[in-house]
């Protein structure tokens, strides 16, 4: 199903390109192996249902705060379903104070291609795990800097108002982690941007620096290797780490901005995501 709006929570280094068409979510997710790239750092977590832990790798909005603007107050959290995509649109479920849009993104390597196109309409596909009506599916190749991904904001009130609205943090302090279902042919890193590592102009509080080790965008996350079959994964917030190349910060759940599924550079990827929830 094609929806008319794409929204992005843009990390500053995310520029946008691309195109192509996709198979249905029930199809095989590709032929590449499910291991991460050689030399990638190693975060581990225990996937749900007794799956094997995997190692990690390193890492959008139409209205963004400009430098000097006040940051929106956190919205209180409750536990529960974030989005099961069964409504067929590109918004997460507007419940528990949460609001936002799904989006794709990539590093804009010349010649790189991703579908859905971050600059075009975001397309949901029919099918999914256990009789699901819709899922999100992204494919692509040719990205050589930091890769590509898909994700959503948690407190973009333009998703409710239909107009311009400041994006702000979501207070998820009453939750222990998220679960999601996925399949694919590559490694992904599930990342959770908080205000401390995101620049002011993108809703965060990080001051841009040229000092080594003080860069913004070193988000907290953890990695998993996907397989050709749908599996349920559990991501405990207590297991998240930064990658170690940027500003070192605490993981503050009261300032959570969104959720990202990051795909490493140098791979031909084919990734499906569905049924994301707090627990």
**Structure confidence at residue 73 (pLDDT):** 57
pLDDT in tens, the chain (279 residues): 544 443 334 444 343 333 333 344 544 443 333 333 333 333 445 455 544 333 333 333 333 333 444 455 565 555 599 999 999 999 999 998 899 999 999 999 999 999 999 999 998 999 999 999 999 999 999 999 999 999 999 999 887 776 666 679 999 999 999 999 999 999 999 999 999 999 998 999 999 888 998 999 999 999 999 999 999 999 999 999 999 999 999 999 999 999 999 999 999 999 999 999 999
Q: Which CATH class is domain 48-278?
A: mainly beta
Bond prior to 116 in cis (omega within 30° of 0): yes
| pTM, two decimal places | 0.75
**Structure confidence at residue 210 (pLDDT):** 87
From the list 105, 74, 103, 150, the residue with the least C-alpha distance to 3 is 103
E strand spans, 70-186: 81-83, 102-106, 113-115, 124-126, 134-141, 148-153, 177-184
Distance CA 36, CA 186 (A): 7
Distance CA 44, CA 133 (A): 31
Sign, CA dihedral 69-10-80-88, equals: positive
Query: For 73-98, how does the pLDDT look when each residue is reduced to its tens digit (9 = 90+)?
Result: 565 555 599 999 999 999 999 998 89
Task: Please list, residue by residue across 218-237, b when 16 or more beta carbons sit within 10 angstroms of its beta carbon and e when fewer do.
Answer: bbbbbbbbbbbebbbbbbeb
- Contact at 8 Å (CB) between 181 and 274? yes
**Structure confidence at residue 158 (pLDDT):** 80
**Structure confidence at residue 159 (pLDDT):** 72
**Structure confidence at residue 38 (pLDDT):** 35
């Amino acid at each position: 199903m094609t929806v008319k709006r794409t929204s992005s929570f843009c990390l500053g280094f995310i520029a946008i390109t691309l195109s192509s068409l996709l198979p249905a979510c029930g199809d095989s997710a590709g032929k590449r192996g499910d291991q991460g790239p050689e030399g990638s750092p190693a975060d581990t977590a225990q996937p749900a249902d007794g799956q094997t832990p995997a190692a990690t790798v390193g890492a959008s909005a139409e209205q963004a705060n400009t430098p000097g603007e006040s940051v929106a107050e956190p919205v209180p959290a409750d536990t529960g379903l974030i989005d099961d995509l069964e409504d067929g649109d590109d918004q997460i479920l507007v419940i528990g104070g949460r609001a936002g849009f799904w989006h794709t993104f990539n590093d804009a390597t010349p010649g790189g291609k991703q579908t859905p196109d971050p600059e075009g309409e975001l397309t949901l596909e029919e099918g999914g795990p256990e009789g699901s009506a819709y899922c999100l599916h992204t494919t692509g190749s040719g990205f050589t800097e930091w890769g590509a991904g898909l994700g959503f904001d948690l407190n973009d009130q333009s998703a409710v108002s239909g107009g311009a609205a400041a994006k702000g943090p979501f207070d998820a302090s009453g939750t222990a982690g998220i679960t999601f279902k996925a399949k694919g042919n590559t490694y992904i890193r599930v990342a959770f941007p908080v205000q401390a590592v995101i620049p002011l102009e993108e809703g965060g509080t990080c001051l841009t620096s040229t000092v080594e080790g003080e860069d913004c965008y070193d988000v907290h996350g953890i990695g998993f290797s996907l397989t050709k079959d749908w599996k349920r994964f559990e991501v405990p917030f207590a297991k998240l780490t930064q990658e170690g190349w940027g500003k070192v910060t605490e993981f503050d759940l009261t300032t959570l901005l969104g959720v990202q599924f990051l795909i490493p550079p140098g791979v031909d990827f084919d990734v499906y995501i569905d049924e994301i929830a707090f627990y």
